[in-house]
Structure 1
């Protein structure tokens, strides 16, 4: 009789437990070390067992967490194609729709699939409170005095240290702290552009960027964007002589969830740098990755100081603290002067507390836990959407961040779907919000950052059923 290899024996045993329902979709499996101990095998044999289970599409590994039973999606969605905006600046914003969606921001009883923020239960509130107390005790004048114009030194120093995760050579003096990422982007636009200039962006793109640019009198040129790899290089090359700056969310774009490959980032930096065109990079989602390592930002390939790298803790630590930053390269002096004119300094005690937290081991531990929760949500939401949304829907499973982009079939208008959902106290983000052109009317963005519960699952199923009634 043919003798079965030990790793296959272990894989078959775990496989049978999955089929029998002992391990359910999303459950964490025993660790490799546990298998080594229980079966008396080598680490290599135990690892081979899990690799075999991965090959059978039964389990998946999660970064720094272990192996989990894979959530099987009942039907496979097609991915939406590359967006096709008009290559002329757009002006038709969706301000009224945006105002309507965000009017219920603090209204109780609303299930907010519309927001792109972490559930409060995912945040280390107690540890942050301790950091605030520590800051009030140790800062001169308990944090009541003005700080350096560039910002809290501890915060800037620890951001520079943290940026080693993507190979950065930044130091504290390269950074300016801001009141969140949007404040950083505003400074960047003011420093690099004049009224009437043209800004190239992805399409779709976060509506806040569109509204900010319009408020400054900047023309916005939306470019074709791939749902997986981001902005199309060929499209950018064609308009290179018509733009004055470019703004990209290179890692886990909001709302698409796309992530530019390193080769694309390098090509964009070189293409723009050769023409002296500044690249404003919004990288506030970079630390929320579902892969094995943090993707590098475009800033990693900047040799001439033309990339203005913006970040924030609004999506990782504390949305309400409004702590952000920018490494503006050769625009440092301009950005610092703009900050002096607009805000003088930031709230020192808050920035000191965040600096303390980022400088501790707690930040990495918190990020690991946050990524686990969001990745699990990603799987559960994908499964639920596949089971309950109309046939023919197209889905972009995010590679990180908070945004899941869905294109519905037929002539479903997601503004109408929003109104139908709100009658049942459910809020979604209609796709029309993310463009200055009349496009994405059949699309919506879902937030995967809420705590997954049976009640939330039923709400999402309801969204799918309401969409079905609009067909």
Structure 2
């Protein structure tokens, strides 16, 4: 067992006790020597466990006295309410807001809390570039010619092997590669729906899904969603009973924007419900690899017995956003997907898929993910602590157990579209909640990314956001 795993295990055990109020704010923790004796570990391992907790702001050291609890999960803001979507369309407002937010993305002078990918400093750019060089050297014709329509074989093989971690049991022949996860979702919707069909999804949900569905002429029904457990199954059942639903699209693990993760029993129930009614389920599992627990959460695809689930994923949020490498395991819809892909793109971009396949094959991806998860987990704690300290009283915040997105619900008097404009004056960009719906709702909500390394600048920017939100309330 590695030293890294041991100190993480010790740290999380202590954090669990802090969360359960075994150790309260101000309580002294066991000394480093006591940890060494009780756990049978080295002094260095025990210190690393405390350094890890200290980096998240949960404990603090006092010279000559030891380590003390400095913060508790009990002080985090309350969770946002379960969404109750209203049928009052306002898509034009959504599009305008998205355009305004994207107008400042890529601007280095801004703190981009609105950017839905990890910071470049958290991605292994040099190592993936080596994989790209290897791909150019090893592919036939240096990767210049067309690749298989189904996609790069090495990549599909590595994705299939990785599916064992969530009981996927896929083979490389089950997979079709795509240009990013949005490419997978797009191919799926184009293959199984037609103009006028009804698509059901969570609410709030990633704005790209809403705009894609709208461009295809689909009717979108946004259903009630809990900030921790995802879509409300009873609401889904009622909708199916009263409406002819053609497809369902869910972000099962660490939803964008709320961070919710469907429990396994919910995933299984949804899969069985949709299978019974012959309604295809498009599963966006883009964030599943960025988990903070001991193991990767299962996917809806884990419970698929009939090929009714079109499982979609990508490396865009965890490794190489610009490579646009994604895939789908479309089950019984595989031939339709391949046919649609042929008409849309003729072939796959073999060279970048080979590069990612190489990276996975060497084991570097798992090593990278372990570091990324650790940093993002620490960030999530620090963000929750800062929001609880700086934002107005009554602010409610999601508590993600993976991914890198937080959903904030402010007082109904706060218009976050206006807050967005005020924040821009301070070189801060946020994603207003109104972006994540086609209805007239979530105007007092924000999605923030904690995918940037924690720094004084990040802390100060959150403090400014909190101040601006308080000023809005005072008007």
**What is the CA deviation profile of residues 15-39 of structure 1, one whole-angstrom value per residue up to 9, with x for unaligned ones?**
99x969999xxxx999869962568
The answer for unaligned runs of 5 or more in structure 1 is 1-10, 60-66
1:247–1:282 CA contact under 8 A, matched in 2: yes
Are residue 129 (structure 1) and residue 133 (structure 2) matched?
no
* SS of the residue 2:214 aligns to: helix
Deviation at 1:153, TM superposition (A): 0.5
2:202–2:250 CA contact under 8 A, matched in 1: yes
1:29–1:68 CA contact under 8 A, matched in 2: no
Deviation at 1:342, TM superposition (A): 0.5
The 3 A distance-change label for structure 1 pair 34 and 118 is farther
Residue of structure 2 equivalent to 1:202: 202
Select the residue among 261, 269, 272 that pairs with 2:271: 269
Deviation at 1:108, TM superposition (A): 2.9
Are residue 119 (structure 1) and residue 119 (structure 2) matched?
yes
The 3 A distance-change label for structure 1 pair 443 and 29 is farther
Segment drifting more, 162-171 vs 74-83: 74-83
Select the residue among 408, 419, 432 that pairs with 1:417: 419
What CA distance in whole angstroms lies between the structure 2 residues aligned with 1:20 and 1:68?
Answer: 6
Residue of structure 1 equivalent to 2:461: 459
What CA distance in whole angstroms lies between the structure 1 residues aligned with 2:336 and 2:298?
Answer: 26
Residue of structure 2 equivalent to 1:357: 359
Are residue 252 (structure 1) and residue 257 (structure 2) matched?
no
The 3 A distance-change label for structure 1 pair 454 and 301 is same
Are residue 105 (structure 1) and residue 105 (structure 2) matched?
yes
Deviation at 1:456, TM superposition (A): 1.2
The 3 A distance-change label for structure 1 pair 29 and 303 is farther
Residue of structure 1 equivalent to 2:96: 96
What CA distance in whole angstroms lies between the structure 1 residues aligned with 2:81 and 2:27?
Answer: 39
The 3 A distance-change label for structure 1 pair 423 and 190 is same
Residue of structure 2 equivalent to 1:62: none
**What is the CA deviation profile of residues 194-221 of structure 1, one whole-angstrom value per residue up to 9, with x for unaligned ones?**
1000000000000000000000000100
1:415–1:441 CA contact under 8 A, matched in 2: yes
1:289–1:371 CA contact under 8 A, matched in 2: yes
**What is the CA deviation profile of residues 402-444 of structure 1, one whole-angstrom value per residue up to 9, with x for unaligned ones?**
1100001141000010000001110000000000100000000
1:73–1:386 CA contact under 8 A, matched in 2: no
Residue of structure 2 equivalent to 1:189: 189
Residue of structure 1 equivalent to 2:166: 166
The 3 A distance-change label for structure 1 pair 409 and 321 is same
Deviation at 1:399, TM superposition (A): 1.2
Deviation at 1:86, TM superposition (A): 2.6
The answer for unaligned runs of 5 or more in structure 2 is 1-13, 15-21, 60-66
What CA distance in whole angstroms lies between the structure 2 residues aligned with 1:357 and 1:126?
Answer: 12
The 3 A distance-change label for structure 1 pair 429 and 88 is closer
Deviation at 1:401, TM superposition (A): 0.6
Q: CA RMSD in A?
A: 3.0
Q: How does 1:259-408 map to 2 (within 5 A)?
A: 259-408=261-410
What CA distance in whole angstroms lies between the structure 1 residues aligned with 2:70 and 2:325?
Answer: 36
The 3 A distance-change label for structure 1 pair 224 and 68 is farther
* SS of the residue 2:40 aligns to: helix
Segment drifting more, 360-369 vs 69-78: 69-78
* SS of the residue 1:200 aligns to: strand
The 3 A distance-change label for structure 1 pair 336 and 446 is same
Deviation at 1:107, TM superposition (A): 2.3
* SS of the residue 1:247 aligns to: strand
Segment drifting more, 413-422 vs 161-170: 161-170
Deviation at 1:116, TM superposition (A): 1.3
What CA distance in whole angstroms lies between the structure 1 residues aligned with 2:391 and 2:418?
Answer: 16
1:201–1:222 CA contact under 8 A, matched in 2: yes
What CA distance in whole angstroms lies between the structure 2 residues aligned with 1:251 and 1:386?
Answer: 25
Residue of structure 2 equivalent to 1:8: none
1:29–1:69 CA contact under 8 A, matched in 2: no
The 3 A distance-change label for structure 1 pair 185 and 69 is farther
Residue of structure 2 equivalent to 1:7: none
**What is the CA deviation profile of residues 73-116 of structure 1, one whole-angstrom value per residue up to 9, with x for unaligned ones?**
68342211110013688755510010000011222301100011
What CA distance in whole angstroms lies between the structure 1 residues aligned with 2:113 and 2:171?
Answer: 38
What CA distance in whole angstroms lies between the structure 2 residues aligned with 1:319 and 1:154?
Answer: 19
- Normalising by structure 2, report the TM-score: 0.86
Deviation at 1:346, TM superposition (A): 2.0
Q: How does 1:19-34 map to 2 (within 5 A)?
A: none
* SS of the residue 2:310 aligns to: strand
What CA distance in whole angstroms lies between the structure 2 residues aligned with 1:226 and 1:301?
Answer: 21
What CA distance in whole angstroms lies between the structure 2 residues aligned with 1:116 and 1:280?
Answer: 21
- Normalising by structure 1, report the TM-score: 0.87
* SS of the residue 1:311 aligns to: strand
**What is the CA deviation profile of residues 232-284 of structure 1, one whole-angstrom value per residue up to 9, with x for unaligned ones?**
00000011142110000010000010000111100000000011100000001
Deviation at 1:68, TM superposition (A): 12
Structure 1 moving runs of 4+ over 2 Å: 18-23, 28-39, 67-76, 86-93
**What is the CA deviation profile of residues 38-59 of structure 1, one whole-angstrom value per residue up to 9, with x for unaligned ones?**
68xxx9xx9xx99xx9xxx977
Residue of structure 2 equivalent to 1:3: none
Residue of structure 1 equivalent to 2:151: 151
* SS of the residue 2:312 aligns to: strand
Residue of structure 2 equivalent to 1:141: 141
* SS of the residue 1:382 aligns to: helix
The 3 A distance-change label for structure 1 pair 390 and 168 is same
* SS of the residue 2:258 aligns to: coil
